[in-house]
Structure 1
Amino acid sequence: MSEVPVFQSPSFDNTHLLALPVSSAVLAAVLAAVSADPVDLRQLAGIIGRDAALSARVLGVANSTADPGRTPQPANLEATLAALGPQTIRTIATTAAVYQTFSRSHGIPRDELDRFQRHTLTCACLARNLAKTLAYPAPDEAYLAGLLHDLGRLIIAARHPTALQEVRVLGQDAGDIPALEQRLFGVDHCDLGAALVESWRLRSFLADAIRFHHQPTEALRGAHPLLRLLHVANLLNQGDAPGDAAFSAADRLFGLAPARLRELCAESAREVEEVVADCGIAGPAPSDWPTAPSASVDGAMEQTVRDLLLVDGARAEWSAADDEPTLLAAIARSAAMLFELTEVHFFPRDPQTGMLHGSDPGWPDEIVVDPDGARNSLSRALRDRRLCHSLGDGGADAGVIDRQLARWWQREGILCLPLSAAAEPLGVWVAGVTRTQLPRLLAQSPLLERFGAEAARALDALRQRECRMNRVREDHRLLEQQRLHAVVHEVSNPLTIMRNYLHLLALKLGEPAAGEDLRVLREETERVGRILRRLAEADDVEPEKIGCNLNQTIRDLARVLDDALCRPRGIRLNLQLAEDLAPLARGCDALRQIILNLLRNAAEALGQGGAITVTTQDQINLQGRQYVEVAVADDGPGLSAERRAHLFQPLTSAKGGGHAGLGLAIVRTLVEELGGYVGYRPNTGGGAVFTLLLPQ
């Protein structure tokens, strides 16, 4: 670990991963997977894990943040993808596809690339199967080690295109390869790949496993299991069949018998054959490799890249839209530009009734389509979630609605493209088409479907923004209502005094004491004026810097929310507040926002009926600091495992649901700004408990 690596020569930039070739089939599969709704991260990790260069790029981007205090992450592709999110993954894949399509400069022979990919995939599968056999706790980490162990060879080949062939021909033994590379290129792939992985600062011995996988077996006795696993996997994959050196290493490092190793090799070979068939990797065996490139795979990638660029251009047309009618009009313009369709209309789906609604100034009335009603192309597209048209079988499949729309638009038929986001149907785009247009449009189905997916995302994102704005406005209204309640309560006290003194004044008129009573009345009247002025000028008042009475803040807000949210739903709101709490140092306004969001989320989770309980407790010591605990518990359905996995992150679906992600994201931000902590646990007997620790 302390050696000064020779690869710091400017001839080798081991960070330029875009220069490394990626399987076109893998890129196309990734782009298709990230366009799905919802995105299946496990499936996506399986696809990306077929290609060493793309896997390295994903891990590099995920661990590239310039944050010296960042916690090192485990070497796990699925966890990495979850942290990045579908949009970032799509950008990584799109960047690689565009670069590879328009910059074919690596010059590495296709047959050598196929050999490399087959070797790394086999080594990855062997490492994972060995890990499972030996009960290594992170088999996915072992798979990554096998996939990336020769990444340095690909980096060298990007600079010297014949490097893979030269080393294969001249290298007589696996242990000789690093020394041979040093003589030929001034660097070896072990140090080159290890340095790259080290820059990602993973919580793993992955870099060391790559650096030392060509070391003698004896040198690795007692080393970390990952180093030994990769060493054995690589030796098992050095020829058509495992040799004595591999069997000896496996026996000395793990005590594995040759019979078991042969079983693992056969199992790994079956896994690899399934993958290479999907990826278009040539050759059923290492001795039989065609040299001609796969024109069909590369042609498909060019088509995919062209479609991506066209749709990205359309998205630029939509980016300025700040309301739904403007966005829909921009999407219709884009459809006219991309597909030369002049009659394009959106039929949004009503989430409450499931009906499709369409309107146009030229129509006699609004058209409402019942998906469960008579057969038509709109219902078919919505139900099957695929492109449909009304011109099949000579128009025999056309419904009444299809014929109406085609006649109004003066076309022979209609083409229907469903839009959905997060598995929730949003509606159907309907275009008037002729029989001469239809073959061209059907040939453009992949582009149409990609266009529809991006349009759905844009529409869903806009609705999400509007939902957030509505929620902010509603929160502001409820908080303002709470503030007005407090002011009215404050005003009532001097008004009561005024009424009492007026009564006394009536009895004492004419007596000397009346003057003193009138003075008191004047002072109290002036106090009412000051309170009312403070209410009118509330927006200009400096934030209060005195301590915050937690219990009083909760009681004041609970009175409003009990009337506005709980009682109309039949929900009981219980307060169990510890007495004599020390005031909080700051944050009354933030606290009101936090409690409001937690109570609102609990009410939405309960629906009708049930109970919400708010408790407070002090003298909580965490790492030597005193905190006050606030807990908001409900007895509702609780949270699913999928929801818990993304807790305190904003949701991407407009579908809604209990304990909404938007509110919890706000809570987390506000609590952290106050220097506190927020957590979740299941409620005993069902439901959810959200706990706050706020500094005193």
Structure 2
Amino acid sequence: LTMKIMRVQGGGNPVVSSLKAIEQTVAELGSETIKNVALFCLSNPFSNPLLWKTDANFNQFWFHSLRCAVIARSLSEHLLPASADEAYIAGLLHDVGKLLLWSNLKRDYEPLFKKSNRADSALSAENDSIGTNHCEAGWNIVRNLRAHPFVADAVLYHHFTPKAVAAALPLVKIVFIANTLCYKGQGSDQIDLMQTLGIDIPAERLDRILAEAQKYTDELLADVDLTAEALLKDPLPSFKDRDAALHGILGEFRELSARQLTFAHTQPEKDAVERQKHLLRSFKILFDVAAAFFFPYVSARNALVGKPTESEPSTWPIGEVELPVTSGGNLPALTLSRHQIVDSFGYLANDLVTIADEQVIRLLNTEGMLCIPLIHSGRWIGVICAGIDEPQFPLLWEQLNLLNSFAALAATLLDQTGGVEIPPSSPRQGGVSFDEEALRRVIHEVNNPLGIVKNYLTVLGEKVADRFEVKDEIALIRQEVERIPGIIAQLSKSRYKGDGDDEVLDINVIIADLSQLLTASVLDQAHISLN
């Protein structure tokens, strides 16, 4: 979840420098979006076939990561107060390379994952077996998240020798010590290590830091009715053949949370540019893609034409890109004409990459790209070009159904001819003539900061939950803020004579879908029959 938020936050900023930046992104995304992202992440482990037959203890992995983050932050507060946030992020993500290697090289890496520990021989075993190690893999991931460069460095060097780390900058030393303390006894046992690293911190202080970290993690676990002993005793529950129905339910749950995330912020009243921006952001969150472009199809030119959004750096000349939809001209055109996903690595087809494709890939700043066609009711809507490195392809291939589902939803939402936009009519007789585009821009510019203010009020309300007088005042402010969009909406409504034609809605189809969804997961278990 942290990495997904960092990826979104880093999309328009060169460096994710602190937890404050992540918290700001959480506020901008809003609690509903974060909730949907969290639900999607929650379903991933249980709907991922890779996890069905594994003895790897991911609970232990998570617990170690969290504990290392807490210890690193406490050490930084003593040694490098200005970088306490960076220390926490680096500690949390220091072993994330193990997840990448396990996901892509499960058969070869799982024995190493299960045996990995603080021993320096662990890196040698990884290098000998697969030609790389989790430190290098993690460094690449964190660096591509546009994290602070010293955070990525701390991930890269956390298994180096104490003598080598002694020459590093402080954040690398802090994460190295935190990782060591997670594995090796009391702080009083590490005096020689501190001297080697040139760190002046009393043994008593180290012991206090460890005790505080233990208390903090115990409190977190208590919030979800767990203890460290119970968490570390067993790995994630393994799936047997008889759990196929449960897997199906969780797969549906994952699809539903993905749909909810896709539909969030894409209401019909939003203009096309806004819908494109939010759909691209949802795509990046769902599929862990750092960069993606949407090329709408323009029938008058028979071409895919690039359109920049606010989330793209101004240095990206996407607005200058026009890809003709001709046979063999470029991969985005091929994916549209064939109605199928195409990649630049040649896994899905053997088409040659053209110069135009290479130029788009360079704009994405990745090794290659995945092209996803958006087609609705036989109409070409456009193409999403996702920038990916080659190791990402197997992970995306595992989610092919979800990719196709997302493409179908996105095409529906972006189809301008499908009744999404309300057709303008003449101004009311005797009324004021509005500049429609200017009005839309004003509404958009007002709603953006209002949304951020509302989200910050929600966060602030949680922080002062025990102060009733302040909570009431926040509620009053929120109530007044929520009135503003309604007032602005009156301007938009006065622009049109009517609300458009009514739609025919088959409520029985909706009821049938809901009953099918609920039967296996809820009704059968409660012995309730639905006729």
Superposed pair shares fold, TM > 0.5: no
Q: TM-score range by the shorter chain?
A: 0.3 to 0.5
TM-score normalized by structure 2? 0.45
Larger Rg: 1
**RCO comparison, higher one (Cα < 8 Å, 6+):** 2
TM-score normalized by structure 1? 0.35
More strand by share: 1
